[in-house]
């Protein structure tokens, strides 16, 4: 079925679970009139001012379903740019289901994933970079990720993309003038400041991608090492809870454990793995095989050594075999014990039992996961693969333009590369887009958003 972008739509905007309150959103042409048929007293919601809230009863014929509050929004100053409302009802599953059923029977269709935000874009309420930021806020797993997404929602990415596009428009205008008046307008020096500005803005956004991606998507960190190196104790210490069994018996951990952790605003999946040692025990061997699987998929491996035993040949062999496959940090555990050897160069001394050295360890993990910092920390950190790909496309087109210009290529051919860069930036903000692009992007959103 082909749906109209102005159809009256409805969806639950809060989780489908029992709670104190639930929010049901409606939007679209005639949505307030349709909703008015379901409420008592039967005063039309369509005559009410926008950004007001009213107490009503939802009714199914003569039967009261729930006592609700309805926030009324009027076009064009609503979230979607259309007339709409939010129904604040009691969070009982039967209440939610009954109201949604009534709305469907009255003429609303169920909203698709991200359809409210898609309508906000189509009605000029936001560009595509802000629309993506809406979803990024919803999916943020740490306060730092939330803050970065909120900055993107405020328009920081859009501002830079449009700035780069404006600079390229100036270059295109100069090229067109050079085509029309070849004897009066030279090609060479006309693009200096505009070209520098476009490249600076694009490069600034690209530099922040890797860090932005880590803050949004997170990283996996595996604690590995020989048996009884203190991996499970360190795992518990980092989490601040007794999640893993700690024992002096070798080979206690037979499988990996996983738990979420926030390190300097980075959402981390922390793994405790089975200890590594020669063994004929098939269960222990299976645990070590699974350790290899976790290490292979980890963004960072923290290799722990028992400082009272020192660095064994097996430790060196394992670390050497992993060093080329993943980021590796080495830690020297049990510094609180009197028979602990001095930590070798490159090993971070710590005590999982007392917590000594753990703050330094967390800082090292955060720095290793983030990689090098952007030169300008005022730049917004993007985390969208779509935005990165389009920025790279624009930057490559600008590079081809520079090479062609310096090689004496005619202005009409130079304009082709500038047009490609403009199209890429226009697609990033949504000035240039297709239904396929929108469907692919908004399909990743929650229903109700």
269-326 pLDDT tens trace = 999 988 887 676 777 777 778 888 888 889 999 999 999 999 998 889 889 888 877 8
What's 221-370's CATH class? alpha beta
Burial tier of 40 (Cβ tally within 10 Å: 0-12, 13-18, 19+): exposed
User: Residue 249: which pLDDT band, with cuts at 50, 70 and 90?
Assistant: low
What is the average pLDDT value for the chain, to the nearest integer?
89
Residues 6+ apart with CB under 8 A from 436: none
Q: What is the pLDDT of residue 375?
A: 46
224-239 pLDDT tens trace = 998 888 888 999 999 9
Q: What is the pLDDT of residue 73?
A: 97
Q: pTM to 2 decimals?
A: 0.86
178-190 pLDDT tens trace = 887 766 555 554 5
Q: CB–CB of 72/52 below 8 Å?
A: yes
Q: What is the pLDDT of residue 200?
A: 94
23-34 pLDDT tens trace = 999 999 999 999
Burial tier of 368 (Cβ tally within 10 Å: 0-12, 13-18, 19+): middle
Neighbouring-strand partners of residue 64: 59
128-181 pLDDT tens trace = 999 999 999 999 999 999 999 999 999 999 999 999 999 999 999 888 888 877
Tokens matching residue 75: 């076009």
CATH topology of domain 9-124: Gyrase A; domain 2 (3.30.1360)
DSSP calls for 202-242: HHHHHHTHHHHHHHHH-EEEEEEEBTTSSHHHHHHHHHTS-
Work out the average pLDDT over 358-377. Answer: 81
Question: What are the sequence ranges of the domains in the chain?
Answer: 9-124, 131-208+379-430, 221-370
User: What CATH number was assigned to the domain covering residues 131-208+379-430?
Assistant: 1.20.120.430
Work out the average pLDDT over 110-126. Answer: 94
């Amino acid at each position: 079925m082909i749906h109209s972008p102005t159809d009256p739509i409805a969806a639950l905007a809060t989780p489908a679970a029992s709670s104190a309150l639930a929010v049901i959103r409606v939007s679209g042409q005639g949505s307030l009139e349709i909703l008015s048929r379901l409420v008592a007293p039967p005063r039309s919601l369509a005559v009410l001012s926008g950004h007001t809230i009213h107490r009503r009863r939802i009714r199914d014929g003569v039967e009261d379903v729930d006592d609700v509050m309805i926030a009324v929004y009027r076009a064009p100053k609503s979230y979607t740019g259309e007339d709409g409302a939010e129904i604040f009802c009691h969070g009982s599953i039967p209440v939610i289901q009954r109201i949604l059923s009534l709305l469907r029977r009255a003429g609303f269709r169920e909203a698709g994933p991200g359809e409210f935000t898609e309508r906000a874009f189509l009605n000029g309420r936001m560009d595509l970079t802000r629309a993506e930021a809406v979803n990024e806020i919803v999916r943020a797993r740490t306060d730092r990720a939330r803050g970065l997404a909120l900055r993107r929602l405020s328009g920081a990415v859009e501002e830079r993309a449009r700035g780069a596009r404006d600079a390229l428009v100036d270059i295109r205008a100069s090229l067109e003038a050079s085509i029309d008046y070849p004897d009066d307008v030279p090609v060479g020096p006309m693009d200096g400041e505009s070209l520098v500005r476009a490249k600076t803005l694009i490069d600034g956004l690209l530099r922040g991608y890797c860090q932005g991606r880590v803050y949004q998507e997170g990283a996996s960190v595996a604690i590995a090492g020989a048996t009884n190196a203190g991996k499970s104790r360190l795992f518990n210490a980092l989490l601040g809870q007794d999640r893993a069994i700690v024992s002096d018996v070798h080979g206690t951990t037979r499988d990996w454990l996983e738990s979420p952790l926030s390190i300097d605003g980075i959402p981390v999946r922390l793994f405790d793995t089975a200890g590594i040692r020669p063994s004929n025990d098939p269960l222990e061997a299976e645990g070590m095989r699974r350790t290899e699987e976790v290490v292979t998929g980890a963004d960072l491996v923290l290799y722990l050594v028992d400082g009272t035993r020192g660095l064994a040949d097996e430790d060196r062999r394992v670390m050497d075999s992993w060093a080329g496959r993943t980021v590796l940090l080495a830690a020297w555990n049990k510094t609180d014990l009197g028979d602990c050897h001095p930590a070798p160069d490159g090993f971070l001394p710590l005590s999982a039992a007392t917590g000594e050295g753990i703050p330094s360890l967390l800082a090292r993990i955060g720095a290793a996961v983030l990689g090098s910092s952007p030169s300008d920390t005022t730049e917004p950190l993007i985390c969208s693969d779509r935005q990165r790909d389009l920025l790279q496309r624009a930057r490559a087109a600008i590079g081809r333009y520079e090479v062609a210009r310096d090689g004496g290529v005619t202005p009409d051919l130079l304009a082709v590369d500038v047009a490609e860069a403009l199209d890429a930036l226009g697609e990033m903000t949504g000035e240039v887009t297709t239904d396929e692009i929108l469907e692919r992007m908004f399909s990743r959103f929650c229903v109700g958003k």
